[in-house]
């Protein structure tokens, strides 16, 4: 997961939620939403390279729909193609970044793209 600064300018890796079961995962996300007064949840959608919605993207949308039943915070989707590749490249370039997991940095890249588009 990633979080932006209060002004919605800069995204930073926040934490990793290791998947256990849907109920626990949603509970962990809701806790983060409430503790940080989150205004919008940006979900990375793993589209196929041709832009199609495949089985993994469907799973993500199903999970996000279930999450939306537990919060009034709006949920937005963001194409996450190649964000993990970008995160891995950034980690190779930064000694300090090597301590971060690819997924947390990829989440920050997804959120940063959303913030840069001025959609907040």
- Taking phi first (over 0 means left), then psi (-120 to 50 degrees means alpha), and beta for anything else, what does residue 37 get? left
More confident residue, 81 or 94: 81
Average pLDDT, the chain: 83
Asked if pLDDT for residue 4 goes beyond 70, the answer is yes
Instruction: Classify 15 as helix, strand or coil.
Output: coil
- Taking phi first (over 0 means left), then psi (-120 to 50 degrees means alpha), and beta for anything else, what does residue 7 get? alpha
* The predicted structure's pLDDT at residue 56: 83
What is the number of structural domains in the chain? 1
Q: Tokens standing for 21?
A: 């079961």
Asked if pLDDT for residue 19 goes beyond 70, the answer is yes
Non-local (6+) Cβ contacts of 86 within 8 A are 106, 109
Distance CA 83, CA 77 (A): 14
* The predicted structure's pLDDT at residue 89: 62
Asked if pLDDT for residue 104 goes beyond 90, the answer is no
**Domain residues for 77?**
2-116
Query: DSSP labels for 34-75?
Result: HHTT-S-EEEEE---TTS---HHHHHHHHHHHHHHTT--S-E
Tell me the mean pLDDT in the region 21-48. 92
Kindly report, residue by residue over 53-92, the tens digit of the pLDDT: 888 889 999 999 999 999 999 999 988 876 665 666 655 6
79, β-bridge pairs:
45
Distance CA 52, CA 12 (A): 28
Percent of the chain topping pLDDT 70: 80
């Amino acid at each position: 997961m990633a979080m932006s600064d209060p002004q919605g300018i800069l995204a930073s890796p926040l934490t990793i939620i290791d998947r256990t079961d849907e109920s626990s995962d949603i509970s962990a996300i809701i806790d983060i939403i409430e503790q940080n007064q989150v205004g919008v949840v940006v979900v990375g959608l793993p589209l196929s390279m041709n832009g199609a919605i495949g089985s993994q993207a469907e799973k993500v949308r199903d999970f996000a729909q279930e999450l939306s039943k537990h919060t009034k915070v709006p949920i937005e989707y963001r194409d996450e193609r190649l964000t993990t590749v970008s995160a891995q490249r950034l980690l190779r370039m930064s000694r300090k970044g090597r301590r971060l997991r690819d997924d947390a940095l990829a989440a920050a890249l997804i959120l940063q793209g959303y913030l840069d588009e001025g959609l907040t």
